[in-house]
Structure 1
Amino acid sequence: MANPSDERYLTTAEVARRLGVKDTTVYAYASRGMLRSHRLPGRRGSFFRQDEVDEFVAQGRDARQASGAVERIRTELTLLDDDLLYYRGHNVGELALTVSFEAVAGLLWTGELEKTRQFPRYDSLVDIVRTARAGLPPETGTVDAMKVAVAVLGAVDPLRFDLSTPAVVRVGQKLIGVLVDAMPGGETDDARLITQRLAGKLGGRPVDIGLLNIALVLLADHDLAVSTVAARVAASARAHPYAVVSAGLGAVDGRYHGVQSTLAYRFLSDAMDNPLRAIAERQRAGGLPGFGHRIYQAHDPRADVLLGLLRGHPDAADVMATVDAVIIVADSFPNVDLALAALMHAYDLRPDAGEAIFALARTAGWLAHAIEEYREPGLRFRPLGVYTGDRPER
């Protein structure tokens, strides 16, 4: 409930006069999340904070009509600042070196850094998912199998529409745990941490669990990446958490997002034979996978952490020699996709193992954003289309 003593509020009619529109238009802006309405104690009708109305006016009529949606998504989760990355005020590079992925997921979901957090096992759900996976063709990719698993887990959860924070946290722990435990590979019945349960299921040799934990922490969230926006749009429609993760997984499948580590993996494979030729071929095809970033200007802090550790790790000596060779020639900085590809080569993992690591890690972030979005007005993502087709005859 808004407190009228704290802010100056305007009635719907006052906002309409200020904007030069009808009352119904103000209600439409509110339904789309472009303005936030409040209820005041002892007064009837909707009220709007004057400072928010002033900001809305400052955006300009054309900008409002062109976007039609929420111009700013306020989030307390992730800060990208000066080529550094923070989760809820914690430097992510430091978190990756000091706490478990489970603890970081809990930090994103609840704001509390519970270092002893563990994700329970759900053996009956694992059996259900494995039965569903058994019907898929052998060549099915890991992320495609995860999509099926998420849909199945949602279908068998009668309480999936409980959107409270504790319920979403339970779903997050269940989803990540079952997705890992249902993967084919070495059984780890006595392992408790996600890294221990995942390390031997990515192909090749079991991954060093310390390096795997660092990769999961570094990838858990990255502000409003495209898959996160997709997840928030689903949450704004009050889709249940399983559907939110499904939306995120759908966007991850795009060639410009989650599959970049696979492209970087193949690039490193070629570069091990001939670095200059591999670089030249990729440049001719349109660009080097694993280098540069739309957000970072000079370096990717996630790549700095993971590549720095791989550079001194005996398991990664061969691949890091290739990585350092291509970095010298690339005329750009390496990003986390190249670091993930290097980790994959160090342990002879499947070419799509990086996509699986990315999707598992980012599931924590998608659900954290869903928790935030469930607190916002529903259906606030409603852009206005600019029609460019044929006009009907009158």
Structure 2
Amino acid sequence: MTERSEADGQRLTTREAAERLGVKPETVYAYVSRGQLSSSRVPGGRGSTFDAAEVDALARRTGRRETASPPGEPAVRTGITLIGDDRYYFRGVDATELAARYAYEEVAEWLWTGELRPGVRFTAPEQAMEAARRAVGALPVHCGPTDRLRVAVVAAAAADPLRFDLSRETVLGGARSLIPTLVAALPTVGGVAEDCPSASGGLARQLWPKLTARRPDEPSVAALDAALALLIDHDLAASTLAARVAASARAHPYAVVSAGLGVLEGPLHGAASGLAHRMLAEVLERGGAAPVVADHLRAGRRVPGLGHRLYTGEDPRARTLFGLLEHVPQAGPALAAARDVVATTARDVPLHANIDLALAVLSVASGMPAEAGETVFAISRTAGWIAHALEEYGERPLRMRPSGHYTGPRPPQPLPSP
């Protein structure tokens, strides 16, 4: 009979326990015989199950080792996000359902604590907010959104004397204040701030006037809120791995976020939505996707907003956001342009829409600049980086220190001469 975990998720099979401990299944039973682990028989079967908390405690005592991974792909155990079968889950709950039902702050709390706090709102401390605004205001006008956010994080860190306290509650308190501080530090686009006061709504409503001069309507703000919730985490993306490396070195949470922002600025990560935005704008200008797609392919460029290595079908984040954008009246042309891009490329290559294309529809339809998707991504993912930092702070320090494979000249070499 095949072993199975019990429905409540608190019992592990022998294989699962071995993976958590980084040992062979035979060693798990050796731990049982030594009295280091207790086991229970599977009802009606020959397998055993193990208490997850007891296994984790033993792993901490023995020096936790990571699960084996494919060559060149490091593996890090995490209880935050699971991706499989073209769906993804936050702490076991379908992430798209969370984003459709709850506000960004509520989903962030779920990711951090495993508890739902309906109606929770994040507040920026006055001192940190003013420091971040002054620092961002001193930057040249041509600076991009990630430049501004990186500077705002440093300013907020300098204003927080408790930043080196890595206790769970202090880290959470800092996170709840940092995220709205980042939003407050961004310059307002146009004169709509009075129509969208930060005190009267959640983070999406605070962020809206930082992205566009258009007046906010409820379907558009709901779509922005869902986008923030959908993007909070996505397993070990490059920026998240950088954040965990920083946390492994016991960097404070602000430095962890800075590490994530540094990687996010790459064109293959957070900036990808800007490429999709520009493509959609061109499709609308030229009246169809065919010439635009042809130009991309002729230049040897991939078509933005299509495909994702973790999904064989449509990115579930894109599917959810597209569904919400259906209720935004002004999004019709951009939605049609996105569908045209997908249909045009599908003639030869079976690629599906990803979250970058859906973000582009939101930004184009709302009169936002091409960089708006990057801003949404960075603000949202800050909560995910904090979740991974909290998890990493509970691990052995400096465990993410790979060994280099030296390929240079073999010593001894002669001393170089001028």
* TM-score, scaled relative to structure 1: 0.83
Decide which moves more: 226-235 or 121-130: 121-130
Q: CA deviation at 1:139?
A: 0.8
Aligned partner of 1:278 among 292, 306, 309? 292
Q: CA deviation at 1:155?
A: 1.8
Aligned partner of 1:325 among 330, 340, 360? 340
Aligned partner of 2:208 among 189, 196, 199? 199
Percent of aligned pairs with the same residue? Answer: 43
Q: For residues 256-298 of structure 1, what are the alpha-carbon distances to aligned partners after superposition, in whole Å with 9 as ceiling and x for unaligned?
A: 1000000100111111114111111222332111000011111
* TM-score, scaled relative to structure 2: 0.78
Change over 3 Å in CA distance of 1:133–1:9 after alignment to 2: farther
Q: CA deviation at 1:220?
A: 0.5
Aligned partner of 2:224 among 197, 200, 212? 212
- What is the rounded CA distance, in whole Å, between the counterparts of 1:235 and 1:265 in structure 2? 33
Higher RCO (CA < 8 A, seq sep 6+): 1
- What is the rounded CA distance, in whole Å, between the counterparts of 2:80 and 2:33 in structure 1? 29
Q: Is 1:258–1:355's contact at 8 Å kept on the other side of the alignment?
A: yes
Q: CA deviation at 1:181?
A: 1.6
SS of match in other structure, 1:106 = helix
RMSD: 2.6
Q: How does 1:1-394 map to 2 (within 5 A)?
A: 7=32, 38=61, 47=62, 71-185=74-188, 186-187=193-194, 188-207=197-216, 208-272=220-284, 273=286, 274-284=288-298, 285-331=300-346, 332-393=351-412
Decide which moves more: 182-191 or 352-361: 182-191
Change over 3 Å in CA distance of 1:111–1:6 after alignment to 2: farther
Q: CA deviation at 1:341?
A: 0.5
SS of match in other structure, 2:77 = coil
Structure 1 unpaired stretches of 5+: 12-34, 39-46
The structure 1 segments of at least 4 consecutive aligned residues displaced by more than 3 Å after TM superposition are 4-11
Q: Is 2:305–2:356's contact at 8 Å kept on the other side of the alignment?
A: yes
Q: CA deviation at 1:7?
A: 4.3
Q: CA deviation at 1:206?
A: 4.1
Q: CA deviation at 1:117?
A: 1.2
Change over 3 Å in CA distance of 1:9–1:289 after alignment to 2: farther
- What is the rounded CA distance, in whole Å, between the counterparts of 1:6 and 1:309 in structure 2? 51
Amino acid at match of 2:362: L
Q: Is 2:128–2:155's contact at 8 Å kept on the other side of the alignment?
A: no
Q: CA deviation at 1:6?
A: 6.6
Q: Is 1:10–1:48's contact at 8 Å kept on the other side of the alignment?
A: no
Q: Is 2:198–2:205's contact at 8 Å kept on the other side of the alignment?
A: no
SS of match in other structure, 1:80 = strand
- What is the rounded CA distance, in whole Å, between the counterparts of 1:37 and 1:108 in structure 2? 23
Q: For residues 110-132 of structure 1, what are the alpha-carbon distances to aligned partners after superposition, in whole Å with 9 as ceiling and x for unaligned?
A: 11111121112322322211111
